[in-house]
């Protein structure tokens, strides 16, 4: 199984980016997919999660109302649409997936079997 995260870049505050997480060897529709980020000098942080077979994503308070998870089953890809970006959103963003993870464990990336390599998002003033 491989996860490929992409779509990061440099954007001005208030701007938007869409991150993609594509999977091979795993069907996203039957997996819980999480997005996480690590800001400079900070610990890994949960951002958002979509549970398998559940169309209602869950978001960290820090991104609620600004970030949206979406998915394309035909492309086996999960997206993180980020709007209203703030300086504090600057981080390396990771996607992770697991077909068996339970809900309570899905807020820590270390609990996922499969993890992507990360994509850098830099928000400038």
Instruction: Give pLDDT tens digits for 106-118.
Output: 999 999 999 999 9
CA distance 16 to 13: 8
pLDDT band at 55 (very low <50, low <70, confident <90, very high): confident
Per-residue pLDDT at 33: 95
DSSP-derived secondary structure for 13-45: TT--EEEEEEEESS-GGGSEEEEEEE-TTS-EE
Helix, strand, coil in percent for the chain, rounding step 5? 10, 50, 40
Per-residue pLDDT at 53: 76
At 60-94, the pLDDT tens digits run 999 999 999 999 989 999 999 999 999 999 999 99
Mean pLDDT of 87-107: 95
More confident residue, 80 or 102: 80
Mean pLDDT of 13-23: 97
Per-residue pLDDT at 8: 97
């Amino acid at each position: 199984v491989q996860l490929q995260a992409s779509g990061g870049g440099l954007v001005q505050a208030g701007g938007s980016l869409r991150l993609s997480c594509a999977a091979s060897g795993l069907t996203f529709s039957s997996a819980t997919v999480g997005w996480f980020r690590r800001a400079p000098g900070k610990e890994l942080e949960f951002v958002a999660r979509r549970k398998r077979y559940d169309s209602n994503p869950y978001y960290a308070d820090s991104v609620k109302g600004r970030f949206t998870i979406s998915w394309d089953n035909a492309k086996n890809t999960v997206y993180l649409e980020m709007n209203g970006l703030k300086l504090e959103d600057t981080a390396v963003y990771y996607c992770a997936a697991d077909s068996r993870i339970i809900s309570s464990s899905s807020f820590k990336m270390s609990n996922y079997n499969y993890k992507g390599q990360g994509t850098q998002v830099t928000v400038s003033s």
